[in-house]
């Protein structure tokens, strides 16, 4: 049921550097067609760092670890959004399953991959909605020995609540050359990190030590190189629109991202593309340092 691409399998067997990449942002985080470009650019960044990319998704009854380019092209807006709980059903039912950070981590753990790059981690949604909405990314990260590089937590969430929950779950929140967790588009203003690291090698050493101590996942926040500091009012508009239209659950994040991409005249789209690539690059550098 799990298919690991030959290059990924051989690299892992030799103790080499492999970086897991997700497919939810490919299918649901960008306008149709553009997501695939973002996914391919992430793979190029991982390779430029000297590591092997393993883009993960569910296809033709299998959890595929290391999608080919033509397979990745099948992850469009009609793909199912697949968190940790959805992997098995998506595989058995032959769905095209775009894995979230949590879904990707669950599959990566099965293959022994320890590093991942993404845009922003999911977390606690704002306003404590009824029913409450907390991304499965958090629980899966807590139980998976892997380091995820992201631009922090997506700022459409309740970021302080998410940071508190990460602490409760025992997940180290590292800052890459910063003392506070980046806010996805914005670089500053987030909660303090639990430790700051200055280099890929230091991040790798902290992760290895955490795992030797029996720990699970770690989050490493890398601020975007060209942050946007004025998106918050638009985020509030987007969340209001989502509520007014009755958008809930798994649909909220894609709805809000699409709203922002549209209403910002493409500025958030450009920023999101860039930060995903930057995070993939850094995840590759850390995987190489660890190897
Ligand atoms: N990063 C992005 N765009 C995205 C995501 C991350 O730049 O679309 C996705 C990830 O797959 C993450 C998901 O796991 O958003 C969180 O969705 P939810 O809040 O429904 O768990
Ligand atoms: Mn949710």
pLDDT for 127: 82
Identify which of 119, 138, 156, 254 to mutate to test ligand 1's pocket (most ligand atoms within 8 A of the CB). Answer: 119
Position 268 confidence tier, pLDDT thresholds 50, 70, 90: very high
Give me the residue spans of the domains in the chain. Answer: 2-290
Q: Tell me the per-residue pLDDT of 45-62, one tens digit each, with 9 for 90 and over.
A: 999 999 999 999 999 999
Identify which of 42, 154, 222, 255 to mutate to test ligand 1's pocket (most ligand atoms within 8 A of the CB). Answer: 154
Residue 39, pLDDT > 80, answer yes
Q: Where are the alpha helices (DSSP H) in the chain?
A: 6-13, 24-28, 34-48, 69-72, 87-92, 101-111, 136-143, 159-168, 200-212, 232-244, 252-263, 267-290
Identify the CATH homologous superfamily for domain 2-290. Answer: Indigoidine synthase domain (3.40.1790.10)
Q: Tell me the per-residue pLDDT of 180-210, one tens digit each, with 9 for 90 and over.
A: 999 999 998 999 999 999 999 999 999 999 9
CA of 183 to the centre of ligand 2 (A): 18
pLDDT for 132: 85
Total residues belonging to the chain: 291
Position 80 confidence tier, pLDDT thresholds 50, 70, 90: very high
Q: Mean pLDDT for the chain?
A: 97
């Amino acid at each position: 049921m799990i298919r690991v691409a030959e290059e990924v399998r051989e690299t892992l067997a030799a103790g080499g550097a492999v970086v897991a990449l997700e497919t939810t942002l490919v299918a649901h985080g960008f306008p149709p067609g553009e997501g695939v470009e973002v996914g391919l650019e992430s793979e190029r960044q991982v390779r430029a760092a000297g590591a092997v990319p393993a883009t993960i998704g569910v296809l033709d009854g299998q959890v595929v670890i290391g999608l080919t380019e033509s397979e990745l092209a099948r992850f469009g807006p009609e793909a199912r959004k697949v968190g940790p709980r959805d992997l098995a059903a998506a595989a058995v039912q032959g769905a095209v399953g775009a894995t979230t950070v949590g879904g990707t981590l669950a599959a990566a753990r099965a293959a022994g991959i320890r590093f991942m790059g993404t845009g922003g981690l999911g977390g606690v949604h704002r306003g404590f909605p009824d029913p409450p909405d907390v991304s499965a990314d958090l629980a899966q990260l807590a139980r998976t020995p892997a380091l995820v590089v992201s631009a922090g937590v997506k700022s459409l969430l309740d970021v302080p609540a998410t940071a508190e929950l990460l602490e409760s779950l025992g997940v180290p929140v590292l800052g890459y050359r910063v003392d506070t967790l980046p806010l996805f588009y914005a670089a500053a203003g987030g909660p303090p990190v639990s430790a700051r690291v200055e280099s890929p090698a230091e991040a790798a050493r902290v992760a290895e030590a955490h795992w030797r101590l029996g720990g699970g996942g770690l989050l490493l926040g890398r601020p975007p190189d060209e942050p946007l500091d004025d998106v918050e009012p638009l985020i509030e508009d987007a969340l209001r629109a989502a509520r007014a239209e009755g958008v809930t659950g798994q649909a909220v994040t894609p709805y809000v991202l699409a709203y922002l991409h549209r209403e910002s005249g493409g500025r958030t789209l450009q920023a999101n593309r860039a930060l995903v690539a930057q995070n993939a690059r850094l995840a590759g550098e850390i995987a190489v340092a660890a190897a």
